[in-house]
């Protein structure tokens, strides 16, 4: 069977991918967007209810240049705005299609998903830093799984005792949000936090000082069972194992970057950074582009991602 062909194939339906799709629609270019989950999956999963989506994230001011623009608003309002753009531009989006392999055939890219094969002249990678989920590295009893979460999503926890696992920004943000209406502990395997941004670091420190948040450093979960309709956590702290009861256990691990898939596509890395031109094109692979937080790494913002989509389609349009 011949692969389904499109002029432009975009992998990822986050801010950068949707922005690129909108710009392609404006330029009357044939475009298809694929995503392993839902539109704005990361924001839906890792942003708690009512969380702000900041235009100037961490004070990084960006002049928005494309058709998709936004001002600081809630998670729910931002998602609604993006969904309106999708409907207005009649974007073609295939959800729950996982890109498993990327290859080249003559002048085209071939993308094989868990459902079918596609080909395109241009390939835009907008998959995000956390596009590959991290598996929970703990033995969880089947009956305990409903009490173990990897994101907050639309959860509405109140009056619970919750264990947040992890030492990165996702775990810190989960804990800061959850402590407003719950008793929260953080379990982290290292002796101190090393990867928190300034905002999260200050928030966690303030809550600990005010005794609204407790942290158990150098601790590891051995297994999770169920007792009295609660999660029974076997927690090893510096060699001493305790059994602690929680209403929920939330793993704030985020995800990882599928580096092998990117390298197979034609992206090369230097010091863990992709080698791209100023137009977001892979330096050694023509018509292959990378946009969004995966292109910017530590300086990524949603406003930048939206601009990326605009800029890359503007450049592609100039070649047509």
Read off the pLDDT of residues 81-96 as tens digits, 9 standing for 90 and up.
Answer: 999 999 999 999 999 9
Of 231, 251, 271, the position where a domain reaches its end is 251
What pLDDT was estimated at residue 294? Answer: 79
300 beta partners: none
* Pair 145, 51 in one domain: no
CB of 164 closer than 8 Å to CB of 193: no
- Structurally, the chain folds into a number of domains equal to 2
Q: Determine the Cα–Cα distance for residues 46 and 151; give it in Å rounded to an integer.
A: 6
* Pair 25, 124 in one domain: yes
Q: Mean pLDDT highest for which of 17-31, 99-113, 156-170?
A: 17-31
Structural domain for 94, as ranges? 4-132+255-319
What rounded mean pLDDT belongs to the chain?
90
* Pair 87, 142 in one domain: no
pLDDT bin (cut points 50, 70, 90) of residue 6 is: very high
CATH number reported for the structural domain that contains residue 186 in this entry? 3.50.50.60
What pLDDT was estimated at residue 114? Answer: 93
Judged against a pLDDT cut of 60, whether residue 28 lies above it is answered with yes
pLDDT bin (cut points 50, 70, 90) of residue 23 is: very high
Percent of the chain with pLDDT strictly greater than 70:
95
* Pair 101, 147 in one domain: no
Residue 166, phi-psi category: left (phi > 0), alpha (psi -120 to 50), beta (remainder) = left
The more confident residue out of 127 and 187 is 187
Q: How many CA atoms lie within 13 A of 35 on its CB side?
A: 22
Judged against a pLDDT cut of 70, whether residue 27 lies above it is answered with yes
Short-list 143, 144, 149, CA closest to 162: 149
* Pair 49, 95 in one domain: yes
Read off the pLDDT of residues 301-311 as tens digits, 9 standing for 90 and up.
Answer: 899 999 999 99
Judged against a pLDDT cut of 70, whether residue 153 lies above it is answered with no
Judged against a pLDDT cut of 80, whether residue 299 lies above it is answered with no
Q: Determine the Cα–Cα distance for residues 47 and 40; give it in Å rounded to an integer.
A: 11
Q: Determine the Cα–Cα distance for residues 157 and 150; give it in Å rounded to an integer.
A: 14
What pLDDT was estimated at residue 134? Answer: 63
* Pair 154, 246 in one domain: yes
What pLDDT was estimated at residue 273? Answer: 82
Average pLDDT of the segment spanning 289-317: 89
């Amino acid at each position: 069977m011949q692969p389904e062909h499109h002029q432009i194939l975009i992998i990822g339906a986050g801010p950068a991918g949707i922005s690129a799709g909108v710009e392609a629609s404006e330029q009357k270019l044939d475009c298809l967007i694929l995503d392993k989950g839902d539109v704005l999956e990361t924001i839906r999963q890792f942003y708690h209810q009512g969380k702000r989506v900041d235009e100037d994230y961490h004070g990084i001011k960006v002049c928005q240049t494309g058709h998709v623009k936004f001002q600081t608003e809630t998670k729910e309002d931002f998602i609604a705005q993006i969904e309106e753009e999708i409907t207005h531009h009649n974007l073609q989006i295939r959800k729950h299609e996982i890109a498993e392999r990327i290859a080249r055939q003559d002048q085209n890219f071939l993308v094989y998903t868990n459902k079918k094969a596609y080909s395109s002249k241009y390939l835009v990678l907008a998959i995000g830093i956390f596009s590959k989920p991290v598996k929970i590295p703990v033995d969880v009893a089947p009956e305990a799984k409903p009490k173990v979460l990897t994101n907050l999503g639309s959860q509405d926890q109140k009056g619970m005792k919750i264990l947040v696992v992890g030492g990165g920004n996702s775990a810190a943000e989960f804990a800061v949000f959850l402590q407003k209406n719950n008793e929260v502990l953080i379990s982290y395997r290292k002796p101190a936090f090393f990867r928190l941004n300034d905002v999260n670091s200050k928030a966690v420190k303030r809550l600990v000082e005010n005794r609204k948040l407790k942290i158990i450093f150098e601790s590891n979960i051995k297994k999770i069972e169920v007792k009295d309709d609660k999660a029974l956590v076997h927690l090893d702290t510096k060699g001493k194992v305790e059994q602690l009861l929680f209403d929920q256990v939330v793993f704030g691990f985020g995800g990882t970057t599928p580096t092998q898939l990117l390298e197979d596509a034609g992206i090369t890395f230097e010091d863990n950074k992709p080698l791209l031109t100023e137009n977001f094109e892979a330096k050694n692979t023509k018509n292959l582009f990378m946009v969004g937080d995966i292109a910017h790494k530590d300086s990524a913002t949603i406003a930048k991602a939206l601009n990326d989509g605009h800029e890359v389609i503007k450049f592609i349009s100039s070649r047509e």
